[in-house]
Amino acid sequence: MKKNNLYNLSGEIKNCLPEKMKEKSKRSKLEEFLNIDIKNIIKDDARLIVEDLRDELAKHNYYYYIKDNPVISDHQYDMLLRNLSMIEKKYPELITEDSPTQRIGAPLEGGFSTVEHGERMLSLQDAFDYQELNDFLTRIYKDLIRGENEVEFICELKIDGSAVALVYEDGKFARGAP
Catalytic residues: 158
* CA distance readout (Å), 107 to 45, 52, 126, 152, 169: 31, 22, 21, 33, 29
Helix, strand, coil percentages (3-state) for the chain, rounded to 5, are 45, 5, 50
Backbone angles phi, psi at 165, to 5 degrees: -110, 125
SS3 81: helix
- Beta strand ranges found along the chain (DSSP E): 165-169, 172-177
**Which pairs from 171-174 meet CB under 8 Å and 24+ separation?**
none
